[in-house]
Structures are given as structure tokens and as C-alpha cells.
Amino acid sequence: MFKKVHVFRVKPGRELLEEIARYCRENKITSGIIIGIVGSAEKARISFLEKLPAKYTPIDFNGPMEIVAAQGSVALLNGETVLHIHIQVTVKDACWGGHLAEATVFSTAEVTIGELDYQLYRQLDSYTGLNELLEDA
């Protein structure tokens, strides 16, 4: 169940992940669902999982481009708050999506986070080599 729903704006020129992390720190959010992100980006780095264990390939995209969808989670890993976000960005004739590694906001990014009334946790999974959600979370 959601304890609270947070909606906030990330301004032009700001790094999206850094601003979401800052907002979570300032509002003491350690457990939540990234319900959505919409807006625009001037550049983005999206990573694609190529093989296991944990082999990602990052690709840089230059905009401006629209952020048409994003979702993910906020959880604790070894006592630290971590974000895991997948994003979809588009230009007139192409659309890309994957694991958000970084993005610089172009005009705006509107972020919606549902803060949970229970704690999500991540831990290193020996098979995937990734920090996965605990199954009993």
C-alpha cells in the first residue's frame, strides 16, 4: 500500500537520477515504486543487459528527445537507498528503452513516486550478478 504519492519536477540541465536520489534523501524515501516519469531529455545513457552475470552495454543518445515512460523502484541495499529505473525515450522516427544509467533533462521531467508503507530490499544475486529485489520483499 502507498503511504504517500510524491509528484515533483526536475528542471532543465539537471541530471535525472541525481535529482530523484536527492529528492528521496530529502524526503526520507527508502522504499517506493517509480510510477512514472514524463518530460524531455537533451541526452541519455541507456544500458542493455547483454549476458549474465551482469554484462551491460551502455549506449548514449542525443536529443532533444521525449521521455514517454519510465518505471522502477526505490529500495535499500546494505543500508543505502538505490534506484532501479527503466526508461523509454523517443524522437520523431525512433524509440529506445532500457536501464536508465543517466539522463540530462531538456525542458522538464515530471516524476511520480509511490512511497510504500513497507520496506523493499535488494541484495546481490550470485546467478545474475545483479542487485535483485529480495523475493519476500
Contact (CB, 8 A) for 38 and 68: yes
> Can you say whether residue 20 is alpha, beta or left, with left for phi > 0 and alpha for psi between -120 and 50 degrees?
alpha
CATH number, domain containing residue 110: 3.30.1330.80
Mean pLDDT of the chain: 96
Domain with 17 in it:
2-133
For residues 104 and 40, the answer to whether their CB atoms sit within 8 Å is no
Cα–Cα distance for residue pair 38/112, rounded to 1 Å = 9
Q: How many domains does the chain have?
A: 1
Closest-CA residue to 34 (of 128, 99, 106, 105) = 99
- pLDDT band at residue 137 under the 50/70/90 scheme: low
**Cα separation of 128 and 55, whole Å?**
9
- Which DSSP state fits 89? E
CA atoms within 13 A on the CB side of 99: 13
pLDDT class of 136 with cuts at 50, 70, 90: low
Q: Residue 41: which H helix or E strand, with range?
A: strand 32-51
Looking at residue 87, its pLDDT comes to 98
Tell me the C-alpha distance between 134 and 118, whole Å: 13
Query: Which stretch of DSSP H or E encloses residue 93?
Result: none
The answer on pLDDT for 6 being more than 80 is yes
pLDDT at 80 over 70: yes
